Amino acid sequence: MYNTVKILHSYWAYLVLLIIVLAIINSIIKRVGNKEYGAKDFRIALFALIVSHIQLLIGFVMYFVSPRFSLFSESGMGEIMKNSVDRLYLVEHPLVNILAIVLITMGYSKHKKKRISSAKFKTITIYYIIALVLLLSRIPWNSWMA
């Protein structure tokens, strides 16, 4: 089961990154061009929110079925924090990515309350860019690209 969830988590990540980048580029182009916020823009931001939340759920499943998860009871937190690979997979990657998903959720929620199109685009751009940077910072690139 772990390998199936791992493959799903890895490939879904491509979709998440693609949609978040699309939402950011869309917001920047529309804000710079002084375009009106429309249904298409709403759907793009919403789709980024949805795919990122699905990725989070897949990640939770993967986290708890991972063979690394047993290290908490076997080695303890002190040993996990000493090993950079275990720390990345068990602490840094989950916590930073949860924070990134929270930022996407906050950005989406805040942009809905704005009345002016440029303010909507600005909110999406700022929150989604920060979330994207956080996501990119904690991807285990060595194993993901292998």
What does the alpha-carbon distance between residue 35 and residue 27 come to, in Å, rounded to a whole number? 10
pLDDT at residue 74 in the model: 85
Question: By residue range, what is the domain housing residue 29?
Answer: 2-144
Torsion over CA of 67, 53, 48 and 124, rounded to 10 degrees? -110
C-beta of residue 113 within 8 angstroms of C-beta of residue 105: no
pTM above 0.85, yes or no: yes
Place of tokens 């285990």: 140
Place of tokens 């699309």: 22
What's the number of domains the chain is made of?
A: 1
pLDDT at residue 117 in the model: 94
Place of tokens 């949860």: 98
Please name the amino acid found at residue 138.
R
> Rg of the Cα trace of the chain?
17
C-alpha distances in Å from residue 53, one per residue of 29, 92, 112, 139: 25, 18, 18, 16
- Average confidence (pLDDT) per 10 residues, the chain, 146 residues: 89 96 97 95 97 96 88 84 88 95 97 94 97 94 71
